[in-house]
């Protein structure tokens, strides 16, 4: 009976290194995307709007109205509906909730969101495959890959938080310029998107994403260290 020849040592070593590098690099990406998804919930909106220091809408939206209207915007980013989902919404006096510029931006945000989460799903599956491969070949390398990924995550988040705290405008503007066409994300203070999601909301969201990501990385490190001691 003929048997398959074992893979050359050099090929196996290269495969292990590639799996290791991929797992390290994708670790922070996956943690951030998971954190982003966690704040895209009615619960986070409720937490923000109920904070005593959250800025009020100077144009008259009450906290209850914000809690009613804002979830539509978040839900639109996560569902398969067309922009009419938001375009048909109206205030109690019959005027449109969002103007054409706001609707265009929300359509752009949905595209970016869907691409990001799709990339996250594919990356997550590939990372799982890489982890399984490493576990079968070298559990020690899998452990080191996850630890390196967690440490890389902490370094990246720390750098981003420093930039955001030192110069929030630079961070906020740079983020939007990276993903959206110039000028399409500028709005008046009287526009609904700003009234529902003022700058303080995005500052808090960025810090929350950072905090959740850091918590995930630290938890991973602690779990790996404890597992290493047991073995």
In sequence order, the 6+-apart residues with CB closer than 8 A to the CB of 208 are 35, 39, 44
What percentage of the chain exceeds 90 in pLDDT? 73
Please write the tens of the pLDDT for every residue from 192-217.
Answer: 999 999 999 999 999 999 999 999 99
In sequence order, the 6+-apart residues with CB closer than 8 A to the CB of 12 are 137
Average model confidence (pLDDT) for the chain? Answer: 90
- Could you give the CA distance from residue 196 to residue 179 in angstroms, rounded to a whole number? 21
Q: Is the pLDDT of residue 7 over 70?
A: no
SS3 per-residue string spanning the chain:
CCCCCCCCHHHHHHHHHHHHHHHHHHHHHHHHHHHHHHHCCHHHHHHHHCCCCCCCCCCCCCHHHHHHHHHHHHHHHHCCCCCHHHHCCECCCCCECCCHHHHHHHHHHHHHHHHHHHHHHHHHHHHHHHHHHHHHHCHHHHHHHHHHHHHHHHHHHHHHHHHHHHCHHHHHHHHHHHHCCCCCCCCCCCCHHHHHCCHHHHHHHHHHHHHHHHHHHHHHHHHHHHHHHHC
Residue 9: pLDDT band by 50, 70, 90 thresholds? low
Q: Is the pLDDT of residue 10 over 70?
A: no
- Could you give the CA distance from residue 86 to residue 97 in angstroms, rounded to a whole number? 8
Nearest Cα to Cα of residue 22 among 119, 116, 124, 118: 124
Residue scoring higher pLDDT (11 or 148): 148
What percentage of the chain exceeds 70 in pLDDT? 94
- Could you give the CA distance from residue 27 to residue 156 in angstroms, rounded to a whole number? 11
Q: Is the pLDDT of residue 135 over 70?
A: yes
Q: Is the pLDDT of residue 104 over 80?
A: yes
Please write the tens of the pLDDT for every residue from 141-167.
Answer: 999 999 999 999 999 998 988 888 888
Cβ atoms of 176 and 186 within 8 Å: the answer is no
Q: What tokens does 113 get? A: 């969101």
Residue with structure tokens 């100077």?
58
Average pLDDT estimate for 89-101: 95
Q: Is the pLDDT of residue 228 over 90?
A: no
Average pLDDT estimate for 82-98: 95
Can you give the pLDDT at residue 162? 87
Residue 1: pLDDT band by 50, 70, 90 thresholds? very low
- pTM summary value: 0.86
Q: What tokens does 173 get? A: 């503007």
Residue 173: pLDDT band by 50, 70, 90 thresholds? confident
């Amino acid at each position: 009976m003929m048997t398959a020849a074992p893979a050359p040592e050099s090929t196996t070593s290269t495969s292990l290194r590639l799996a290791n590098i991929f797992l390290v690099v994708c670790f922070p990406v996956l943690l951030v995307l998971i954190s982003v998804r966690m704040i895209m919930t009615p619960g986070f909106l409720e937490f923000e709007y109920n904070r005593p220091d959250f800025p009020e809408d100077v144009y008259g939206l009450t906290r209850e109205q914000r809690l009613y209207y804002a979830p539509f915007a978040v839900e639109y980013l996560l569902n398969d509906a067309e922009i009419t989902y938001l375009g048909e919404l109206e205030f109690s006096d019959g005027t449109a909730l969002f103007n054409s510029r706001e609707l265009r931006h929300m359509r752009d945000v949905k595209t970016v969101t869907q691409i990001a989460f799709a990339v996250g799903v594919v990356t997550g599956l590939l990372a799982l495959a890489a982890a399984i491969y490493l576990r079968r070949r070298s559990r020690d390398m899998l452990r080191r890959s996850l630890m390196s990924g967690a440490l890389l995550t902490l370094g990246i988040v720390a750098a981003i938080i420093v930039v955001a705290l030192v110069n929030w405008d630079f961070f906020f503007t740079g983020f939007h310029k990276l993903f959206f066409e110039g000028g399409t994300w500028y709005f008046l203070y009287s526009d609904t998107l700003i009234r529902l999601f003022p700058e303080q909301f995005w500052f808090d969201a960025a810090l929350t994403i950072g905090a959740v990501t850091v918590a995930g990385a630290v938890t991973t490190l602690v779990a790996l260290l404890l597992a290493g001691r047991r073995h």
